[in-house]
Amino acid sequence: MKNKTNIILASSSPRRVELLNQIGLNPEEVINPIIDESNIHCSVITKTVIEIAFQKANFVKKKYHFKDKFIIAGDTLVYRAGKTYGKAKDLDSVKKNLNELSGKRHYVYGGICVISPNGKIAKKLVTTEVFMKRISLKELGTSDILNEGIDKAGGYAIQGFGSILVKKIKGSFSNVVGLSLFDVFNLLIGLGWEKSK
């Protein structure tokens, strides 16, 4: 039986659930926050990714009125040369993204928001540099890589077949997957969270 964690995950991403499970943070509930991310624009992209994470957590907090629960939300954006790469919607989007990122460095910005039971809010921006190799035409036509890239920021999954496209990273690996575990855990502790035994 899994230990109770008093945690609610405000996300539709199975990857974020899997990440939390890796360190024993098993959400009691996983709720898809209904927000319009396309309407959230701040003056700089790094603030936008944090604001989206906050809006996700705040939606769940206001709608469900959980007591004694910590709400976690995250958002991920890939950024290069003034352009953001959100979730690739189809195979053509995956190909386009990978072609533009091929042989170049880009940044993965992760926004995290944690809301405590008493309403205290902690936010964090996590930045990871990712160095892509030059991707061949054959690789751009590989079904495993392309299919896996759908619904992923930037059009690749570093924890899967996308790992063969990445030469190196500087920063948090789990941030590129979808949620920096180091920072989530420390935000929880900072807000007074303790794991039940």
Query: Which residues are known catalytic residues?
Result: 75
Q: 148 in helix, strand or coil?
A: helix
CB atoms under 10 Å from CB of 177, counted, come to 25
- Alpha helices of the chain — where are they, by DSSP H? 14-22, 45-64, 91-101, 137-140, 143-149, 173-177, 181-190
Separation between Cα atoms, residue 106 and residue 39, nearest integer Å: 24
From 34, 116, 101, select the one nearest 71 (Cα to Cα).
Answer: 116
> 45: number of CA atoms within 13 Å, CB side?
17
Q: CB of 155 within 8 A of CB of 93? A: yes
